[in-house]
Amino acid sequence: MESPLFYSGGSTSSSVAAMEEAELHEAPSTMLGDYPAIRSYEDLRNLFWVESIKVWGIAGPIAFNILCNYGINSFTSIIVGHLGDVELSAVAISLSVIANFSFGFLLGMGSALETLCGQAFGAGQIEMLGVYLQRSWIILGASCICMLPLYIYSTPILKLLGQRDDIAELAGDFSIQIIPQMFSLAINFPTQKFLQAQSRVGILAWVGFVALTMHTGLLFLFVRVLQWGTSGAAAAYDVSAWGVALAQVVYIVGWCNDGWKGLSLLAFKELWPFVKLSVASAVMLCLEIWYFMTIIVLTGHLEDPVIAVGSLSICMNINGWEGMLFIGINAAISVRVSNELGSGHPRAAKYSVFVTVAESLLIGLISMAIVIAAKDHFAVFFTDTVKMQTAVSNLAYLLAATMLLNSVQPVISGVAVGGGWQALVAYINLTCYYIIGLPFGFLLGYKAHLGVQGIWMGMIVGTSLQTIVLCIIVWKTNWDEEVAQASERMRQWTGQGDEIET
| Separation of alpha carbons 190 and 11, rounded Å | 36
Q: Tell me the H-state helices in 375-421.
A: 386-419
Residue 457: the pLDDT is: 92
Cα separations (Å) of 200 from 33, 112, 344? 20, 18, 21
Give yes or no for residue 401 having a pLDDT over 60.
yes
Report pLDDT digits (tens) over 423-447: 888 888 889 988 999 899 889 988 8
82: amino acid identity, one letter:
H
Rounded distance between C-alpha atoms, residue 150 and residue 155, angstroms = 9
Indicate the residue type of 305: P
Reference 182, options 111, 67, 103, 248; nearest CA is 103
Q: Evaluate if residue 186 carries a pLDDT over 50.
A: yes
The tens digit of pLDDT for each residue in 238-248 reads 999 999 999 99
pLDDT at 104 over 60: yes
Average pLDDT over residues 13-27: 39
Q: How far apart are CA 249 and CA 137, in angstroms?
A: 12
Maximum average pLDDT range among 130-144, 273-287, 370-384: 130-144
pLDDT at 26: 40
Closest CA to 214 of 62, 75, 80, 61: 75
Is the pLDDT confidence value at 368 over 50? yes
pLDDT above 70 for 11: no
SS3 letters across 323-335: HHHHHHHHHHHHH
| H runs (alpha helix) in 124-263 | 128-146, 148-152, 154-160, 165-177, 179-197, 202-219, 229-255
What whole-number distance in Å separates Cα of residue 141 and Cα of residue 106? 9
**What is the pLDDT averaged over residues 181-209?**
92
Q: What was the pLDDT predicted at 126?
A: 87
For the segment 298-332, what is each residue's pLDDT rounded down to a tens digit?
765 677 766 776 777 778 778 877 777 888 888 88
- Please name the amino acid found at residue 54: K
Q: What is the pLDDT of residue 439?
A: 92
Report the percent of the chain where pLDDT is more than 70.
88
Please tell me which of 175-179, 256-260, 384-388 the model is most confident about, judged by mean pLDDT.
175-179
Residues 6+ apart with CB under 8 A from 284: 108, 413, 416, 422, 423, 425, 426, 429
Q: Rounded mean pLDDT of 242-271?
A: 90
Q: Tell me the helix, strand and coil percentages in the chain, rounded to 5.
A: 80, 0, 20
Cα 132 to Cα 18, 105, 263, 458: the distances in Å are 35, 19, 11, 40
Q: Give the pLDDT score at 119.
A: 81
pLDDT tens figures, 138-179? 999 999 999 999 999 999 988 887 777 888 899 999 999 999
Q: What is the mean pLDDT of residues 66-75?
A: 82
**Whole-number pLDDT of residue 420:** 77
pLDDT bin (cut points 50, 70, 90) of residue 270 is confident
Q: Measured between alpha carbons, how far apart are the two ends of the chain, in Å?
A: 29
Q: How far is residue 402's CA from residue 399's CA, in Å, rounded to a whole number?
A: 5
Q: What is the pLDDT of residue 16?
A: 39
Q: Is the pLDDT of residue 23 over 50?
A: no
User: Model-level pTM?
Assistant: 0.76
Q: Residue 151 has what pLDDT?
A: 96
